A and B are shown apart, each in its own frame.
Chain A
C-alpha cells in the first residue's frame, strides 16, 4: 500500500525533527498538564498526548502540546497532525476536533482511519485528565 504524500511528509518531518514537531513529554503529575494515553501494544498503536493548559477568560486554552506515538507511519502522522490543530485552542474547541478532520488533512486510506480515531480519543482523554485536576 502506498502512503499519501501528506502522511509521508508528516511522518518524515516528525522523525527527523522531533523537537520542532512537539515530540516529548512532561511530568504527568503537573497540575497544568493533561495526559491522554490510548491504544495498546497488542494492536500495534499507542499514543500519548499531553496538553499544557492555562485558564483564560471563562475557559482554558491549550498553550503547548507534547506527544509520543508507537505505531505505523499513519499513526505517527495522525498524532503529529493533531498537535498542529490543538495549539491555541480552548478545551471546548479542542473537543470539537473530529477524526475526519485528521483523516482528511492527511488523505488517510480507509484501512488507516483507526489511526485518526485513536488521535481523537487521545485528545478527549487528555482533556478529561486535565479537568480532573481542576
Chain B
C-alpha cells in the first residue's frame, strides 16, 4: 500500500456520506460499481476489485461477541502455573486435558476447531485484554467495549462510527451487518441503519395476499408517511433510518441468500446460523465491511463446567466451519475474525462451582496471512488486585490494530487517541 492511496482513503473516510443520496441500496456493491466503471457486465464479475490496487477494498471484519464475561483462564489455560489449579479446585482444567499450544498455554478441550486454525498459523491470542479502573458490571463494561469510550458514553457504537464515517477509495460507503434479530450497541447509530437479520426467509414485506397488485401503492404510501414524519419529533431519526434501511436492503439480501450454497457443515445452533448468514453476505459480495455475531451465556456463576464446555464447543466448531466455508469459496483471505468479551472471571472460583465477575480476558484474532501466536503480556496470577487480574493490553490497542492494519481506517481519529498497535498483522514480534 502506498502512502498516497492511504491518504486518499483517510481523506475520503471523513466525507460524511448522506445515505439517501449516496446509494440506492444499503449494500453498495463497490465491486459492482467498479466493474460498471470499466464497462463490464457487473453481474458477471465475481470479484472485480481484485484488480484494484486498494488492498483494503474487499476486506471484512467479523466481530464475535462472547456475552456474559468469558472465563479466559479456562479458555486459554495457563496449565503450568500452579496458582491456577490452586484457585480452581473444582472448575480448573488439568494439564492432561488441555489442547496444548506450547509449554505454557493450552486451549479448553472443546476448542479443537480453533486449535487446528492455531496450528496452521491462522490464529492469534491477545492476552490480558482489559482497561483501567475495570467495571464489574456487565452492562457498564459492555458499554465501554461497545463505544470504545472509558465512560461507556458516546452517541453511537464504535463499529457504527467506523462503518458510517468511512467510504472506500471510490467513495462507496461501508456496510455493516448484524447476524441475529438484535442490533448490537457497537453497531448502533441514531441515524445510520445497519441491518440486523436473523432469518432471511422472513426478511421481506408481506403483501395483502388477496391484492398483491396493491403492494406497490401501499408501500409508496408507507414511504411517504415516514418521509413526512417531522424530523425533530421523537425517535424520528431511528424510525426513518430503520424504515429506509429495511426497504433498501431486502432485495440484495434475498438475492445473496438464494445464490448461497454453504461449502461446510455449520453447527445447527444460533451461533452457527449467524455465521452462515455472515458467510452469505460475504460470498454474495454485499460490500459488508463489518459483520457481527453474538454467542451468549458466558456468565458462569455456577456449575460452570458443562455450560462453558458447551459454549466453547459451539464457538470453536462454528468458527472452524465458517473458515472452511470461506476458504472453499475463495473468500477467507479477505476476512478477519475478532472475538471479545466484557470481562473475564475472578481467579478464585466461588462455592457454586462457578466464577464471579472479574477483569482481563483474552481476545482471539483469526485470519490467513497473519502472524499467529501470542500477543500482549500474559497475565500474572500471583499479583492480583483484590483477587482480580491486572490487565496487560488495552482493548483499544486491539481495536486500533484491526482498524488501522486490517481495514485501513484512521484508528487514532475514530478512537480519539493513539493506542499502540499489536504486531499480529505482520509488523511486530510475538512474545
Mutual binders A and B: no
